[in-house]
Amino acid sequence: TVTLSTASGVVATTQTDVNGYYEFPDLTAGVQYTITVDTGSLPGGATGWSNTYDPDNGTTNPNSQYPLAFTLTAGQISGPYNFGYTGNADIGDTIYYDWNGDGSQGTGENGIAGVDVYLYYDENGDGLINGSDTLAMVETTSITGYYLFENVPGDNWIVWVDETSLTGYTQTADPDGTKDGKYALTTDGSTDELDVDFGYQPTGFGTIGDYVWYDSNSNGLQGSNESGLPNIEVTLYVDDGDGIFNIATEPVIITTTTDANGNYLFTKLISATYCVDVDTADSDLPTDGFG
């Protein structure tokens, strides 16, 4: 809510539209007006918000409502008089591969890159995304599956995962246990919520794997007397879409170790382009011929 007043009192009150825009038309020239933002009308009230910008930088009329005084000449259009606010809490964490479907992120279960996550202001606090709710922010998970909504004010919010990019996955975990791709929460505007994880188990039918062995004669073929190498770390990467594999920048899908016979296997893979990388610095590799 934004109020316009003179020395005689309030002359007009308006509310910002869906884009935050406000306007006071048909004003009188030569009269000093004051614009005041009612911070109590911000979503959730004044608590949890910090003023980051007002037209006089809080120097002419500094107080909690951030008023601005101005006088018009005949025919003048005055402005823009913008006011900026930010919250003080952060919300986020990880969208991850839950390979074993146990509902928690275990060792070797990495984050899922490139997933869009939305933060909605839940105006009526019902925990559902409906017509009265406002989209506040959108983040895309990083190469490690991490996302973060910063500077969130105190109020009711809904985190929603866009599962468009997760075709071939079944959700196994979210913070409230409903496994519906969203989580409703209330923040006080100052306490971070950094455990909003969502787990997804791949349900594909693709399999990649075989064997890591000691090629003692270096001929590239596994001889009958060349045994497998146990406990060697093997990592599966997925192409990030550019068709060029660079393991420094490609998302990690899962990491495993070879069994006692040197075997490894990645299962439940959906259709994609993958790369397998063996850790040549693994301490379990024989030093003879490996550096």
Domains and CATH numbers, the chain: 2-86 (no CATH), 89-202 (2.60.40.10), 206-278 (2.60.40.10)
158 sits in which H/E element: strand 155-161
Q: What is the pLDDT of residues 189-226, one digit of tens each?
A: 888 999 999 999 999 999 999 999 998 888 888 888 88
Cα(268)–Cα(172) distance, integer angstroms: 15
Pairing mode, strands 155-161 and 233-238 = unpaired
- Residue whose entry in the numeric block shows the structure tokens 């930088």: 57
Position 79 scores a pLDDT of: 67
| Count of beta carbons in the 10 Å neighbourhood of residue 178 | 12
pLDDT at 189: 81
* The two structure tokens encoding residue 163: 């599962």
The secondary element (H helix, E strand) that includes residue 235 is strand 233-238
pLDDT of res. 60: 41
Stated pTM of the model: 0.71
One pLDDT digit (tens) per residue for the chain, 291 residues? 989 888 889 989 999 987 888 888 888 888 888 888 888 887 666 666 777 766 655 544 444 445 566 676 666 666 677 777 778 899 999 999 999 999 999 988 999 999 999 999 998 899 999 988 899 999 999 999 999 999 998 889 999 999 999 999 999 999 999 999 999 999 888 889 999 999 999 999 999 999 999 988 888 888 888 899 999 999 999 987 777 888 888 899 999 999 999 999 999 999 989 999 999 888 888 776 554
Spell out the residues 6+ positions from residue 207 whose beta carbon is closer than 8 angstroms to its own.
265, 266, 267, 269
- Measured in degrees and rounded to the nearest 5, phi and psi for residue 52 equal -105, -20
Q: Residue 40 in 3-state DSSP?
A: helix
Pairing of strands 233-238, 116-121: unpaired
Give the pair of three-digit tokens for residue 73: 């000449």
pLDDT for the residue 243:
79
Residue 71: its pLDDT value, please?
72
Asked if 69 contacts 33 with a C-beta cutoff of 8 angstroms, the reply is yes
Torsion over CA: 101, 102, 103, 107 (sign)? negative
What is the Cα Rg of the chain in Å? Answer: 28
pLDDT of residue 178: 92
* DSSP code of residue 232: -
For the chain, first and last CA: distance in Å? 70
**134, containing H or E segment:** strand 134-140
Tokens of 176: 């409230």
DSSP 195-213: ---EEEEE---EEEEEE-B
Q: What is the pLDDT of residue 285?
A: 84
Q: Are strands 9-14 and 2-6 parallel, antiparallel or unpaired?
A: antiparallel
**Cβ atoms within 10 Å of 103's Cβ, excluding its own:** 16
pLDDT, position 64 = 44
pLDDT at residue 13, as a whole number: 94
- With the C-alpha atoms ordered 107, 112, 113, 118, is the resulting torsion angle positive or negative? negative
Distance between CA atoms of 27 and 286, rounded to whole angstroms?
85
CA-angle at 70, arms to 67 and 73, nearest 5°: 160
Q: Residue 68 has what pLDDT?
A: 65
